Structure 1
Amino acid sequence: MTDIIAPPRVVGTMGASLLNLNGMIGAGIFALPALLYVGLDSFAPIAILLFAIPTACLAVSVCKLSTLFDGSGGVQLYVETALGKFTGFQVGWFVICASGTGRAANFLVLVSYLAALFPVFDGPIARPLTVLAFIAFMTILCVLGTKRSMGGIWVGTLFKLAPLVLLCAVGLGTNGFPVNIALPSFSGLESVALLIAYAFSGFATSTVAAGETKNPRTAIYRSVIMALIGVAIFYAIVQWAYIAIGPETTDAEVPLAAAAQKLFGDWGAVMISVAAVFSIATNQLCGFITFPRVLSGMGERKLLPKFFAHVSPRFLTPDYAIISYGVFVAAIAISGSFATLAILLVAVEQAIFALSLISFGVLWKSNFRGLRDTTGP
């Protein structure tokens, strides 16, 4: 009877918000300030806040859908309900391919950051072994319990945000708050629009793990809005701090490390580099917590073999789905380069986005009548 055990609902509103926050804040924040400053100059922080508005409009649609469902799956479950099992099956695999490709690509970036701090991790043998070690660690941690893996998220978030908060506090406190705003040309705004949109991707990560969230029909809604507002303000403050500190433009590839070095010396650059490692690792762990739930949810609803719906009687996690996801990510990470993986990720995400909009339209047109999920415990 172990196959019909339901994972416990151990993720609260704050935990769900943390999943969304880490879905949005990964590696991008450590490169974005310089790119936005080059394109938008002192208008960059305002642009971030402005671009949060259309993102919030999409977020509200997702939030409205989340109030209808108790089970895991997120977009895959919504599309399945709106457009049928066949389309739901396709979207499920799109989601797994997109998330798995993104995890694989980010593991390569994570090891690159780590190798820059500790050269022992560099080399043709050490790099792939380190990638596999990270994947194995996160897979095992997620199998051992959702509470344990969420604990890892809390710790990782602390270690990645604390240095950034320190940088902003000292930078703005020492140099003052930038008050001069220069309006950019339209071409400049257009060139960085996708960068800002990328910064907000992942705002609804918690919807994927709704089946293990307490009171999901209200908690998911609140977590998405809370995280989106918080991240938009945080991104803007980091951008203002970067402008106030004014690091050398020659260090634009590592803007926050350059800013920290100007404030604190060499140890500041190391501090931000360590924060980047924690940031990417926590973002990766967030993916390992959430996206295997797409596989397990599809298994529960018989879109995949029941094997994927298996729940560990000891750890109360969808262990087979988590292990299968880890193997999938490992295979992609070892077989592809970052550029190839990034191109594949963008292509798959566009297909998911198009189908998501169609499902939103179908559910909205039906005025949500009779659409109630019965898969949750």
Structure 2
Amino acid sequence: MSDSVDPPRVVRTAGAILLNLNGMVGAGIFALPALLYLNIGSFAPVAILLFAIPIACVAALIAKLSTLFERSGGVQLYAETALGKFAGFQTGWLMICASTTGRAANFHVLVSYLAALFPVFEGPVARPVTIIALIAFMTVLGITGTRRSIGGIWIGTLLKFAPLVLLCLVGFGSNGFPAAISLPSFSGMESVALLIAYAFSGFGASVTAAGETRDPRTTLFRSVLFAIGGVAVFYAIVQWAYIAIDPDVGSAETPLAAAGQKLFGDWGAMMISIAAIFSIGTNQLSSFVVWPRILFGMGERQLLPAFFAHVSPRYRTPDHAILAYAGIVTIIALSGSFATLLPLLVAVEQAIFLLLLASLFLFWRSNFRGLRDAMGIAWLVIVPVATAMVLWMAAQIPAAAVLSLAGLAVVGAALYWLARRAVAFERSAGAVAG
């Protein structure tokens, strides 16, 4: 049967790093430099590197847990194994809510960038048609082969990083490296802490596609830590280049385009705008590779109906899960409901991290697959720092977002009940047919 065929393990270390990198670097890098500079001035690059340390500790927890599993699902799978099927379903539900909402919003951002260069993409008809076309393109690419999708991500990554590297090189060459650093006030640092943390969001994307990764227990661990270290250094270099170029800080919405304008004129601004299009596009495409694997994994483990566990006999990809994911993104994008859901993303992400901590503790206590024996003395520092970071970020969640999160959990409980009944019906129907 086609549903019993496993997708091939075609993602290697470089591909896994690429998924993590593009999970983090999307639209944010093109707005981050001005926001940080306006709040903490020349200390911004140092702040990025400092805050990368506790964020890397959180990433290390995901990386460590990835060494225990070889199937797709990531944090959803960890929570399901440690806390049970209900907690696993709720984790998957929250992750899909966060991912599809973010993708829907980013498709609108992507079309806005396209329309800024080519006005034909703007308009009450052109905008939704363009969004549908983009989603269809990424869906087809995802279904016709994971290897092909990774190839597309490689091309997009090169096209988005090349202009940024050029901007940094010319910026430093023309203006020198900004050596002066002024310490900001504590309130200034506090105001950008969450901003920096969110800029690193998506650091563990590759673990979700573990079932299609070669030697996942070692590949994923390396890919998560290498990607977050590389992105931290890259963010800091871009921030230093922005300070060196010193564009008009009034261009806070498009700071790197303003920097390109100052260095190269109009074509420089266009170059950075095109880089932004490829940056958002590859971020979106990587999501179509990663997040449908949550639905696929839940279908495999009978948390969802068998429909979601189907594998294309021709392309050997989880085609039904990809189609379902694309359908949800399309509905949210065209309805505009993402605008009301976006504030929830903060609460959802912290809830997922808290479930991650609970899973780690239970695995450690039971020495699941030798986890406790494999954790050396360094983890006596890593785990407390990561825990403090997650608890601090959770404390920043507004009360209204917590209530909305509770509402999502109630909906998730209802969907869990429906999914369990559907799976039970499939089992009984299969038993009768047998």
TM-score, normalisation: structure 2: 0.84
* 1:1-377 correspondence to structure 2 within 5 Å: 1-336=1-336, 339-369=339-369
Q: Is 91-100 or 210-219 further displaced after alignment?
A: 91-100
Shift of 1:338: 5.3
Aligned partners of 1:294, 1:337: CA distance in 2, in Å?
22
The answer to whether the 8 Å contact 1:105/1:341 transfers is no
Aligned partners of 1:316, 1:173: CA distance in 2, in Å?
49
- Structure 1, gaps ≥5 residues long: 372-377
Aligned residue in 2 for 1:374: none
The answer to whether the 8 Å contact 2:102/2:338 transfers is no
Aligned residue in 1 for 2:395: none
Q: Deviations over 1:118-157 (max 9, x none)?
A: 1111111111111111111101110000011001100000
Q: Deviations over 1:77-100 (max 9, x none)?
A: 000011011110111111111111
Shift of 1:341: 3.5
Shift of 1:313: 0.7
Of structures 1 and 2, the one scoring higher in RCO (CA 8 A, sep 6+) is 1
1:118–1:45 distance in 2 versus 1, CA, 3 Å:
same
Shift of 1:342: 1.6
The answer to whether the 8 Å contact 1:104/1:341 transfers is no
Instruction: For residue 72 of structure 2, give the secondary structure of its aligned residue in structure 1.
Output: coil
Shift of 1:16: 0.0
The answer to whether the 8 Å contact 1:108/1:338 transfers is no
Shift of 1:344: 3.3
Aligned partners of 1:212, 1:106: CA distance in 2, in Å?
26
Q: Structure 2 counterpart of 1:203, which letter?
A: F
Aligned residue in 1 for 2:398: none
Q: Is 151-160 or 345-354 further displaced after alignment?
A: 345-354
Q: Structure 2 counterpart of 1:362, which letter?
A: L
Shift of 1:208: 0.4
Aligned partners of 2:179, 2:353: CA distance in 1, in Å?
37
Q: Which runs of 4+ in 1 moved over 6 A?
A: none
Instruction: For residue 183 of structure 2, give the secondary structure of its aligned residue in structure 1.
Output: coil
The answer to whether the 8 Å contact 1:68/1:217 transfers is yes
Q: Structure 2 counterpart of 1:291, which letter?
A: W
Q: Deviations over 1:207-250 (max 9, x none)?
A: 00010000000000000011011000000000000000000112
Aligned partners of 2:366, 2:62: CA distance in 1, in Å?
16
Q: Deviations over 1:281-311 (max 9, x none)?
A: 1000010000000011111111111111110
Instruction: For residue 92 of structure 1, give the secondary structure of its aligned residue in structure 2.
Output: helix
The answer to whether the 8 Å contact 2:68/2:369 transfers is no
Q: Deviations over 1:141-200 (max 9, x none)?
A: 100000110011000000000000000000011100010000000000000001100111
Q: Structure 2 counterpart of 1:56, which letter?
A: A
- Structure 2, gaps ≥5 residues long: 372-434
Q: Deviations over 1:44-64 (max 9, x none)?
A: 000100111001111111111
Shift of 1:337: 5.3
Aligned residue in 1 for 2:432: none
TM-score, normalisation: structure 1: 0.96
Q: Structure 1 counterpart of 2:130, which letter?
A: T
The answer to whether the 8 Å contact 1:17/1:223 transfers is yes
Aligned partners of 2:120, 2:297: CA distance in 1, in Å?
40
Q: Deviations over 1:21-65 (max 9, x none)?
A: 000000000000000001111110001001110011111111110
Instruction: For residue 251 of structure 1, give the secondary structure of its aligned residue in structure 2.
Output: coil
Aligned partners of 1:124, 1:93: CA distance in 2, in Å?
32
CA-atom RMSD, angstroms?
1.1
Q: Structure 2 counterpart of 1:255, which letter?
A: P
The answer to whether the 8 Å contact 1:143/1:315 transfers is yes
Determine which structure has more spread, i.e. the larger CA radius of gyration. 2
Shift of 1:369: 4.2
Aligned partners of 1:250, 1:96: CA distance in 2, in Å?
36
Aligned partners of 1:4, 1:230: CA distance in 2, in Å?
38
Q: Is 125-134 or 353-362 further displaced after alignment?
A: 353-362
The answer to whether the 8 Å contact 1:105/1:337 transfers is no
